[in-house]
Amino acid sequence: MSTETDKFESATYYTCDDDAESLSCEDAEGAIEEFLDKVYEHGVGIVESIRRHSPITVYAYARREVTLHWMHGTADELSERFDEVFSEEFGDPDGGSRISKNDLAELARDFESAIGRLVANTEVWQCEQVATRTYSAEEVESILRESRAEWFEETP
């Protein structure tokens, strides 16, 4: 079973915005940098800005998984919908379907196989939050001194 740390480390995207509509940072450090870049107040040093906005929570996101359950349900729905449309268009107006239950079950299996092939070749766009981590001011400063040393340089 994955731990919170594992989920955080293996996520796809990171943000400090708990209501983000788009995700672009591929690591926690990038999310922290992006956040501080947005909230930075000119005339206030980076260390003071970090202290004012800490602790900083980073939200980790992973692409949603297309489950077998979802593929199976979708295949069943498509098979049922095909039966309805076929019956309305070509069936007996006084009766039910002319397609056998066995043929509909086989159609659902074929749909499920086709859906599986399509999913395997398609990148899922939607993501879901999988973990969070909160960083203290000291941790944020340490991270940024390594990744953005220029932010700490004195300017004349």
Q: What is the pLDDT of residue 52?
A: 94
Q: Which region among 83-92, 100-109, 120-129, 134-143 has the lowest average model confidence (pLDDT)?
A: 83-92
Q: How confident is the model at residue 93 (pLDDT cuts 50, 70, 90)?
A: confident
| Mean pLDDT along residues 47-72 | 95
**Res. 47: pLDDT tops 70:** yes
- Prediction pTM value: 0.75
| Mean pLDDT along residues 124-137 | 95
| 102-to-79, 99, 109, 137 alpha-carbon distances in Å | 11, 8, 11, 64
Percent of the chain clearing pLDDT 70 (strictly above) = 96
Closest Cα to residue 99, out of 84, 78, 115? Answer: 84
| Mean pLDDT along residues 102-113 | 96
| Mean pLDDT along residues 3-30 | 92
Q: How confident is the model at residue 29 (pLDDT cuts 50, 70, 90)?
A: very high
Q: What is the pLDDT of residue 1?
A: 53
Q: What is the pLDDT of residue 143?
A: 95
Q: What is the pLDDT of residue 113?
A: 97
Q: How confident is the model at residue 97 (pLDDT cuts 50, 70, 90)?
A: low
Q: What sign results for the dihedral spanned by CA atoms 146, 129, 134, 50?
A: positive
Q: Which region among 14-18, 39-43, 73-77, 108-112 has the lowest average model confidence (pLDDT)?
A: 39-43
